[in-house]
Structure 1
Amino acid sequence: MPFNPILIVAIVLLVIVLISSVFTVKQQTAAIVERFGRFGSIRQSGLQFKIPLVDKIAGRLSLKIQQLDVIIETKTKDDVFVRLKVSVQYKVIRDKVEDAFYKLDYPHDQITSYVFDVVRAEVPKMILDDVFLRKDDIAIAVKSELNEAMIDYGYDIIKTLVTDIDPDAQVKEAMNRINAADREKTAAQYEGDAQRILIVEKAKAEAESKRLQGQGIADQRREIARGLEESVEVLNKVGINSQEASALIVVTQHYDTLQAIGQTTNSNLILLPNSPQAGSTMLNDMVASFTASNQIGEAMKNAKNAKKTKE
């Protein structure tokens, strides 16, 4: 078979034409096809065909949700410079791929400009503390403004988030000092309350101990008095009068005390007087004292009665 170069060229051209007339579009992607430089159609994902040398793929747009992080530096109402990071989540509207492709060359720049405009209009109205508290309000304001502006360009703003608020370094240091001081103040208050509770409870315990101790001493003295009363009654029955009985009881307690001291080792107590005749001397002195006291009492009573009789 003779070699025919024209046939070979024709076959090659046919293969090139077939290859150039077929293309694929990935999932969640839209391809824009132009015919002689004008918009022709939008092709979705899958295997697609176009007319070679007539149709051209002008570009492709992703239909996935995308995120743009915008960092803005601005000043608050209380003159604090702060850097905010605003994350904008957006996507191309499937029905408006033509607008998204032809109306905007650089959508990122357009979105960034609107974010700057809204943030620098909202933040200067707030003090620094309100910026932290109302960051959601800032995000909502940005989303509302962007949606209104970008919808005409074929873009849908899904969500806006204020993901970072970074004040000046000196301001952050001052805020940390204020926070630390507040925590120390709270800790001191709790410690003071705890100490006060301990003191009150200790005072209550001591008061209760003193009360019980006093009650015990009173009971002890009451029993001693009852015992003395019974002892006097017993001595009276054997012919010893009350004065002698009282003196005898005191002397007996004196000797009991001496015995208790003698049983205690390493005692430095000295009881005066401490002579062998101390007991009898004490007994005689007490009997004489009781007798003299009774005589004086009787004399005063007689004088009082005599005075009443004269009147």
Structure 2
Amino acid sequence: MDPADLFNTFSTLIYIVVGLFLLSALGLFFIVKQQTSVVIERFGKFQSVRGAGFQLKIPIVDRVAGRLSLKVQQLDVVVETKTKDDVFVKIKVSVQYVVIANKVYDAFYKLDNPYTQITSYVFDVVRAEVPKLRLDDVFEKKDDIAIAVKGELQEAMNDYGYDIIKTLVTDIDPDEQVKHAMNRINASEREKVAAQYEGDAQRILIVEKAKAEAESKRLQGQGIADQRREIARGLEESVNVLNKVGINSQEASALIVVTQHYDTLQAVGTMNNSNLILLPNSPHAAGDMLNNMIASFAAASQIGDEMKKNNNAGNKS
């Protein structure tokens, strides 16, 4: 390329850059970012709303009055109020809002400070709703409080070009002493429930133990009854055997008792460290016992016969 042509091209680029710089300095054009609206005024009067991109305006005549973000914004408001049961509590309400794209004019000109306006409505609604509720109900119905705040804000702020996306009660903070009292109440309730469960468990153990003991005693009684039944059958068989060899029932009974006496003495003799003493323990004790028992059985038999005769005579008369 000819040096003269190169010089001319370079000079042209310089003129263009300098011209753009001068135009920018004079305010002929400006850039608007995405999700942003710019309000343009002409001689102090609203002229237009410009969107994202490269924009032109008349220098000196037009000016950028302000910029509004179209992104969702959040405002946190802390309200201190009193509940129905006279407990002071701090409630944090998070308000998510956005400028309505086709109401940028209202949002810019109708409200000088939207944050203050939103805060005022939040204070008004919270201090109207919370005093109707007890402290426990405030925790349970925080969503209802948030809905009430949103309803009030939506109706009021829509006229100013703002849309309320969502309101959230993000924190409920009672007085420190109240929180300690609530923790103590909660701990006491849990201890009460634990004590009830422990009492129920002990009662179940006692009932089951009693049932087991009752069943054990029933089985013991049944075993004793079966044992005595078998003993009686054995005695009956023994008496029948003795009757067959000419020994009457009274003598047989006495003989069986004496035999059991000797069996008992033998069992006691095999026991170590036994302090049991059987009286009488003389050499003639067994013989005396046998004679006494035979005499007793005989006397009992005579008395029984006499009673039967008397009963029969009374029935005949």
Which of 119, 129, 144 is residue 122 of structure 1 equivalent to? 129
Question: In the alignment, what sits opposite 2:31?
Answer: 24
Q: Give 1:21 shift.
A: 2.6
Which of 88, 92, 95 is residue 88 of structure 1 equivalent to? 95
- The 1:26/1:308 distance shift into structure 2, 3 A limit, reads closer
Question: In the alignment, what sits opposite 2:3?
Answer: none
Which of 285, 289, 292 is residue 292 of structure 2 equivalent to? 285
Q: Give 1:302 shift.
A: 5.8
- Output the CA distance in 2 between the equivalents of 1:74 and 1:121: 9
What pairs with 1:297-308 in structure 2 (closer than 5 Å)?
297-298=304-305
- Output the CA distance in 2 between the equivalents of 1:308 and 1:114: 112
Which of 43, 48, 60 is residue 41 of structure 1 equivalent to? 48
**2:283 counterpart SS class:** coil
- The 1:239/1:190 distance shift into structure 2, 3 A limit, reads same
Q: How many residue pairs are counted as aligned between the two chains?
A: 304
Q: Give 1:304 shift.
A: 6.8
Question: In the alignment, what sits opposite 1:64?
Answer: 71
Which of 151, 161, 171 is residue 168 of structure 2 equivalent to? 161
When normalised by structure 2's length, the TM-score is 0.88
Question: In the alignment, what sits opposite 2:277?
Answer: 270
- The 1:223/1:94 distance shift into structure 2, 3 A limit, reads same
Provide, for residues 176-200 of structure 1, a one-character-per-residue CA deviation record: whole Å limited to 9, x for no partner: 2222222222222222121111111
**1:231 counterpart SS class:** helix
- The 1:240/1:112 distance shift into structure 2, 3 A limit, reads same
- Output the CA distance in 2 between the equivalents of 1:213 and 1:109: 88
**1:272 counterpart SS class:** coil
- In structure 1, runs of 5+ residues without a counterpart are 2-7
- The 1:88/1:299 distance shift into structure 2, 3 A limit, reads closer
- The 1:164/1:303 distance shift into structure 2, 3 A limit, reads closer
Question: In the alignment, what sits opposite 1:138?
Answer: 145
- The 1:196/1:306 distance shift into structure 2, 3 A limit, reads closer
Q: Give 1:11 shift.
A: 8.2
- In structure 2, runs of 5+ residues without a counterpart are 1-6, 8-13
Question: In the alignment, what sits opposite 1:107?
Answer: 114
Q: Which one is further off, 86-95 or 280-289?
A: 280-289
Question: In the alignment, what sits opposite 1:52?
Answer: 59
Question: In the alignment, what sits opposite 1:77?
Answer: 84
Answer yes or no: is the 8 Å Cα contact 2:24–2:30 preserved in 1.
no
- The 1:300/1:142 distance shift into structure 2, 3 A limit, reads closer
- The 1:249/1:52 distance shift into structure 2, 3 A limit, reads same
Provide, for residues 54-109 of structure 1, a one-character-per-residue CA deviation record: whole Å limited to 9, x for no partner: 32222211101000000011112222111111111001000011111122221101
- Output the CA distance in 2 between the equivalents of 1:103 and 1:159: 22
When normalised by structure 1's length, the TM-score is 0.89
**1:142 counterpart SS class:** helix
Return the letter of the residue paired with 1:119. V
Whether 1:97 and 2:97 are equivalent positions in the alignment is no
**1:158 counterpart SS class:** strand
